[in-house]
Structure 1
Amino acid sequence: MSDKLKNIKNPGFKIPNNYFEGIEDAVLSQIKLKSIEGSGFKVPDGYFESLEDTVINKISKNENTKVINLFTRRNLLYVSSIAATILLLFNLSVFNKKSVSFETLETASLESYIMNQYIDSYDMASLLTNEDIIEENFIEHNFSEENMENYILNNIDMEGFFSE
């Protein structure tokens, strides 16, 4: 900004004395003087009597209307493709359900499930019947010393057994 604009003390606009005190009365008196009679809208004479005939004449002149056929080849292709898609999705989801049993499970996925779900010995024991738990059933299995050593060396952390 220039220095001239910073130092202006008189804005240049003047309002008459008591202007805002009497403005409301002056505006209301002008409105009362110029009061409007009626709504300001005029309807031609006989307008409502002839309105119906005028509308019917304009409608009857346009007898040639454009007819759009709903069953076009294009619409038929759209509808049939949507129906085929829905039918295909229904068939894929309903008829391709395979039965799941222990024979169809992969050993690796079963092992990873057991390892990641933190199943303890009580949970495993709840799945076994009394016949499975009997000691005689465990004795039937032949465990060689070599297999036991390999299992212990490969799967058991030995650091916890030895203390310094």
Structure 2
Amino acid sequence: MGKKRKNSGFKTPEGYFEGFTDDLLNKMSKEASSLPNKDGFKVPEGYFDSLNKKVLEKVTEKEIKVIRLQAYKKYFYAAASVAAIVLLVLSMQWKDKSSFTFDDLARTDIEIYLEENDLGLSSYELAEVLLTEEMEVNDILNIELDDENIIDYLEDNIDELNLEIDE
């Protein structure tokens, strides 16, 4: 960018500008002698005297047959009112369908939200908020507890639970 091009791509013959003004003046003097002394246009006599009459004859207004268009305002207003009613009905139906309640949320959506967003609550605080009346143990655990699983657990951990078995 900092370098300037020395060669612009255009060339002139040597000594071109030295005799340029003399050559130009010679050509102008030769052409001036070949030009006519008079204008090349001629206007007939009295042309401009009758010009106004000729122009006014061509410009005069003739009666034009006017065709009135029927007023379509009634149809326009009727179409606009029908469109407004249709939009009103569609918007009312659309608003009714889009209102959600807490009961519409799936349990998995709530779980995903709680897992992904840090609410700053400890497990004890969450336990206080959750309703345990309708909750079962199987809702909390990943596996289902059936009678066989419970018996197996109790047999394996009987010593830790300090239970006595009467057989």
Q: Same fold (TM over 0.5)?
A: no
TM-score (ref. length: structure 1): 0.41
Structure index of larger Rg:
2
* Bigger fraction of residues in helix: 1
TM-score (ref. length: structure 2): 0.40
